[in-house]
Structure 1
């Protein structure tokens, strides 16, 4: 046999292609590791809230699972009874992809049904179910790949460094790709399906036999079918169409009108039937609700879009009680634009500005909550509430703060510096109406659920001459919306009643 044409030469010729295959699988695994973390957060937040505890549990469990995978991968790579092969590596990657594909189809819907939003143990358990198994499998990939790629001890350091660089590059691509491409373009269920297929399909190509390839093809077809909007049982399982939806542990029966992943939250618009609480009629009305990360942020009567359908929003006009001559109003936080629409409809002399940080919320409000496009007295700005005021030159008679929810509060909108900025942005006699969630009273439960709004009260009191508290429901031991009205003067109960009576006539 001529020199250079023996079996060893053939293996040498194949070595570069083999290295590229291994590196490609490592890159994809790194990509999916980060994409899975961001995707898992979008599944957990609607149920357990966007708190530091939720993120801490999620990151901690993923790191623990990866550590276990690294250890297991090293042991498997050095197991003499089962020599390291590309096919065995692909079987690990295929298994991780298969599990991830099953997450939105079966694993998470079942877990979500039995989750307890108030339980830390429930959060830990369902996070384990969601991310631990695939993270352990993905942790196996890098040390196992090093074993495959390193042919001699003389180059093992170079091979190890190169592969971990490739894995890190994949994680970087997964971070930016998920945040800036996948989340804005796809629903979360489709993102999870896509990253699962990104593991399963290439891994199946290098596995022996027809079964893995057939299964990968079936999963691909299933993902394509699930992406088609339809009223099928599969579409319902993925969270679209008529049916029962779960938000923050609460069951909402209705039709999912619209769903999107925004730069800041998971957004759903749901139509349902509910009690008519705004007018004098007795009965039920068609309601349209906006949910962000599982929290109700706005609700509208479909046949009366300018009315205020949620109790706490009927306290927004408190600003006119304190400043009857108000002409310029600013809302920080748009949601479904219930307050701005009502102000424009009820007060013909008022100019309303709304600053909303999330562009998808603005789009959803225009398309699904009857926000007028051509109303000259309503101006909408896509900006951060603090940055908007820092741009300067604006003075308002009333500023309504409605950018908070029970699971997330933008901390930079609750600082002394921000309240000072609000005070500077008020015209003479102007007031700030700020919406918070908590409870009032002296009971231990009330104290534990009132820390946040009481802290806001103390901070506001350091910047304004007067801060008054208006619970929106009776009873001190219940969690409710609490309105804080801050300005340069305090009104007594009799004066408030007289001014309210005067405006209602």
Structure 2
């Protein structure tokens, strides 16, 4: 029986475990941004990425332990890091080319794209920790201390990487830079580790031919990653954003966020409204007292392409508007490519819509528009009865709330949301296409609510004027049926939403 392999220096062992564990968490967070442009950013997508990552960690740890018992771990550590670097670089071309085929929110496509984004590199990097543990277990009387120390160091690496990626890297760098930068660091780390082990043992693990093959494959993976098609014009902290010119109208611009057509802006005519739901909301705003050209105070929950703020600016001169937009990078893109000009009449506060709403004074607005989305889903904390109570608090007597909702048959979410709004506001109405109300197709829905009777006749006239397709105005909340009211304690928005 041969002598056991020599242990690594404690500092080197700790660095390897810290770095490998941290790298897996960087990949997990960035994976959400890589797949978002193709399948959105929903609870199912997040769950898929997390589940695939945990599976990769489980299988990688198991394999690393088996290999450590059969071979000298010192011969495997450097190749594991270099292979992890190659797998990391390959995620970019895999996701960006496959994403063109797997677009949509179907569960198999989500799972497959999540696996392409994170499984291979996370699996390879997860083999490192059990190998290091094996090398450090020279004294069975200290097994608990060694395993506990390395386990805690790995957890600290994961925590550090999570915070650094979420607070710093994602806000400062495109996802492709993060992925390729991590691949480069892992490759350099593997080469340095191999050189050190060669110096200590008198030989480099692996044959020259194997090292050359790894180098060629690594360079090819990096090249594919660098040249993979990027679906984003701009990658903000929350969105993969792009702006397309309307071929039928040179002044028209389409804002796309994470593959969803989010806003249409006419740079030369802000009263031109292309999306149907925006036409419906315009009919509501035109019906506000004292008249369609009188200035109002309006609060927008979500900015997007700023289509409605610009419409109100054009049709109700002198209005004072505040937009609460989570994504500061999106606001910057709006200024650069969609002609947004802010000022005393149109202010923007970057931050969460509910936090910003809570900070607003009571009875301050004539109109509140809810149009905040995470992909195609209203964020759950903006859908609850407690949220609606805050909206009602900020509205003046006679003020109106208009909320955009997207749903598909069997329309469980929009029914619950309508019931939730009706639980706070005594007067509600629903605007939607007839086919959506009959349950034969998915669509946008606009919920309209007020503490005073709604001007339904005027809204109907506005719909006839604005809407290009048939649309129904239901004058009450009967469409909700017996749907459950959403609360801060119970708001399964993603599960209710039909796809």
The TM-score bracket by the shorter chain reads 0.7 to 0.9
When the two chains are superposed, the root-mean-square deviation of aligned CA atoms in Å is 3.2
Matched, 1:464 2:415: no
Cα distance change, pair 194–406 in 1 and its aligned pair in 2 (3 A) = closer
Residue matched to 1:292:
257
More off after superposition, 34-43 vs 110-119: 110-119
Post-superposition CA distance 1:73-113 (Å, at most 9, x none): 1111111xx3x142311111211111111111x21123212
Cα distance change, pair 287–149 in 1 and its aligned pair in 2 (3 A) = farther
Q: Which protein has greater RCO, CA pairs closer than 8 Å, 6+ apart?
A: 2
Q: 1:405: how far off?
A: 5.2
Q: 1:69 aligns with which of 60, 67, 85?
A: 60
Q: 1:125 aligns with which of 103, 112, 117?
A: 112
Residue matched to 1:390:
358
Matched, 1:362 2:331: yes
Q: 2:21 aligns with which of 10, 26, 30?
A: 30
Q: Mind listing any 5+ residue stretches in structure 2 that lack a counterpart?
A: 195-203, 468-499
Residue matched to 1:183:
170
Confirm or deny: 8 A CA contact 2:421 2:449 kept in the other structure: yes
Q: Distance in 2 between matches of 1:93 and 1:428?
A: 64
Q: 1:301: how far off?
A: 2.9
Q: Distance in 2 between matches of 1:215 and 1:136?
A: 18
Residue matched to 1:90:
78
Q: Distance in 2 between matches of 1:40 and 1:413?
A: 25
Cα distance change, pair 349–35 in 1 and its aligned pair in 2 (3 A) = same
Q: Distance in 2 between matches of 1:85 and 1:317?
A: 67
Residue matched to 2:303:
334
SS of 2:321 mapped into structure 1: strand
Q: 1:379 aligns with which of 343, 347, 356?
A: 347
TM-score normalized by the length of structure 2: 0.80
Q: 1:172: how far off?
A: 1.4
Q: 1:370: how far off?
A: 0.9
Q: Distance in 1 between matches of 2:222 and 2:423?
A: 55
Residue matched to 1:260:
235
Confirm or deny: 8 A CA contact 1:321 1:500 kept in the other structure: no
Q: Distance in 1 between matches of 2:308 and 2:434?
A: 19
Q: 1:323: how far off?
A: 1.9
**Residues paired across the two proteins, number:** 446
Confirm or deny: 8 A CA contact 2:300 2:370 kept in the other structure: yes
Confirm or deny: 8 A CA contact 1:405 1:437 kept in the other structure: no
User: Counterparts of 1:105-144 in structure 2 under 5 Å?
Assistant: 106-144=93-131
Confirm or deny: 8 A CA contact 2:397 2:452 kept in the other structure: no
Q: 1:223: how far off?
A: 5.9
Matched, 1:348 2:317: yes
Confirm or deny: 8 A CA contact 2:270 2:314 kept in the other structure: no
Cα distance change, pair 492–287 in 1 and its aligned pair in 2 (3 A) = closer
Q: 1:170: how far off?
A: 1.3
Confirm or deny: 8 A CA contact 2:258 2:375 kept in the other structure: no
Cα distance change, pair 271–153 in 1 and its aligned pair in 2 (3 A) = same
Q: Distance in 2 between matches of 1:128 and 1:214?
A: 25
Residue matched to 1:272:
245
